[in-house]
Amino acid sequence: MKKFINDVSSIVDDTIEGFISIYGDIVKKVPDSRVIARKNIKQQRKTGIVIGNGAGHEPACIGFVGEGMLDGNAYGDIFSAPGPMHLLSAIKEADTGSGVLVLISNHAGDVMNSEMAVDMAKEDGIAVDSVLLYDDILSAPASQFRQRRGTAGTVFTYKIAGACAEEGKGLLEVKEIAERTRDRTRTITAALSPGISPLSKEPMFQIGEDEIQMGIGVHGEAAACVMKYESAQKTAVFMTEKILEDMEWSEGERMAVFVNGCGRTTYMELMIFYNEVRKFLKSKGIKLLRPLTGNFVTTQEMAGIALSVCRMDPEMETYWNRKTDTAAFPW
């Protein structure tokens, strides 16, 4: 399988070089580490927000670094968590004297390396805390929700905690709203066709021609169940029902929907799918807030949709709507 790349070993560094050449007015690469950080961050004083993730999910998370969202992103090899020294470098870069919150998407390597970096930062005298993010409801039952994987729904936390920090709130408050957003977010992913690993150049998993895989992870982790391919309407209703079953909610509540394309999902499909989710939630008496639609948290060119729903309160809603200045977030 072909991609527009040079040597496989230089994919991530080539990506960063191109990215910085375009968005150098808002981001920079931190010297001697693979960290994308907000430019001029040291000129203000704010709670820093940092995350580490493997490459291959772009624009997540490099595209979310900037005003009103993330201050630093430690960027690993493809589908591989960045090392603790890179995370430490991101924390130091994001520290303006007001402390740093490390967001951790729940995957073993990310958790281990982020926790090591947090410990090292504490030893260096930085006020640092972390929040573990998990939103994929098909990766573990509700009784073991802390085992659930982090997936596309983490974007709600980046956005809302990021806006909260930008408004000058302290580390404790930013941590609290990050946890609140996580606790009110649920995600379920449906895959139609696999992405191609840039390393092996092979499809990352197999899907039958008449199948949808439900609950697949952002690195192609095994699906929870395989279903027969159905219309967008039936698929959307199935997924939205699963999400509503997994959380407490009441009629009249305000929710934001994120229809995330997993890479190759066309704009048409995103619009059609969102429309079905919208109609179903409306029929349940739910008030819909500004939605997010697009290929944001990708698994290379996987055909799939991660549907994420976040129950908002007025404070979260204000932060959700706040403008950002990033490469990829659309407002």
**Using CB atoms within 10 A of its CB, is residue 54 exposed (0-12), middle (13-18) or buried (19+)?**
buried
Among residues 219, 264, 311, 322, the one annotated as catalytic is 219
Residue 245 binds a copy of itself, judged by CB under 8 A: no
Are 130 and 106 in contact, with CB atoms under 8 Å apart?
no
How far, in Å, are 44, 152, 159, 170 from residue 155 at the CA level?
24, 6, 6, 20
Q: Is 107 a catalytic residue?
A: no
Count of CB atoms within 10 A of residue 10's CB?
11
Nearer to a copy of itself, 126 or 270 (CB): 270
Count of CB atoms within 10 A of residue 77's CB?
16
Q: Is 57 a catalytic residue?
A: yes
Residue 321 binds a copy of itself, judged by CB under 8 A: no
Tell me which of 52, 63, 99, 217 binds a copy of itself, using CB under 8 A. Answer: 63
Q: Of the candidates 193, 234, 200, which has an alpha carbon nearest to the alpha carbon of residue 216?
A: 193
Tell me which of 41, 177, 212, 223 binds a copy of itself, using CB under 8 A. Answer: 212
Q: How far is the CB of 184 from a copy of itself (least distance, A)?
A: 21
What's the alpha-carbon Rg for the chain, to the nearest Å? 19
Within 8 A by CB and 6+ apart from 138, the residues are 188, 189, 214, 215, 223, 224, 225, 242
Residues in contact with a copy of itself, total (CB under 8 A)? Answer: 56
Nearer to a copy of itself, 1 or 172 (CB): 1
Residue 225 binds a copy of itself, judged by CB under 8 A: no
Tokens of 104: 């951790």
Q: How far is the CB of 6 from a copy of itself (least distance, A)?
A: 5
Residue 152 binds a copy of itself, judged by CB under 8 A: no
Cis ω for the linkage preceding 61 (within 30 of 0):
yes
Residue 5 binds a copy of itself, judged by CB under 8 A: yes
Residue 139 binds a copy of itself, judged by CB under 8 A: no
Are 274 and 257 in contact, with CB atoms under 8 Å apart?
yes
Tell me which of 143, 225, 268, 314 binds a copy of itself, using CB under 8 A. Answer: 268
Tell me which of 176, 179, 183, 301 binds a copy of itself, using CB under 8 A. Answer: 301
Tokens of 260: 């995330």
Q: Hey, which residues are catalytic here?
A: 57, 219
Binding site for a copy of itself (CB under 8 A): 1-7, 11, 14-19, 21-22, 55-56, 58-59, 63, 190, 192-193, 198, 209, 212, 229, 231-233, 235-236, 263-276, 278, 291, 293, 295, 298, 300-301, 303, 305
